[in-house]
Amino acid sequence: QVRLVESGGGSVQAGGSLRLSCTYSDTRYCMGWFRQAPGKGREAVATLSGTGGQTYYRDSVKGRFTIDRDYERKTLHLQMNNLKPDDSAMYYCAVAPGTYCDPYSAQYGSWGQGTQVTVST
């Protein structure tokens, strides 16, 4: 079984920052952040390998978002800077088995409950 708990979402004005957190119960898995806005499908935001040496970012967040992992606290983070209204969505932490962790290679099928991010103008 996989246990994932997200936190850190909230409401912020454009240009602001948020830091999302996800606690997990195991190691040596691919992990990532996905998001889903109303009326849209779920999309990958960023992923990280089990060792933290491989990252993926979708083009629209590259340079603004940073994914990182705290192994001592077993916590995954997503630092979100210069937020835009298009970033508004429910953000989910996810886990996948395997070595290649980009969303095109790994099968992310285990999800947390999500944390809401709302960015206003």
27-64 residue pLDDT tens: 678 999 999 999 999 999 999 998 878 999 999 999 99
pLDDT in tens, 60-91: 999 999 999 998 899 999 999 999 999 999 99
Task: Describe the chain by its helix, strand, coil percentages, rounded to 5.
Answer: 0, 50, 50
The DSSP-derived string for 44-68 is EEEEE-TTS--EEE-TTTBTTEEEE
| Residue 47 · residue 59 · CB < 8 Å | no
Q: What is the pLDDT of residue 75?
A: 94
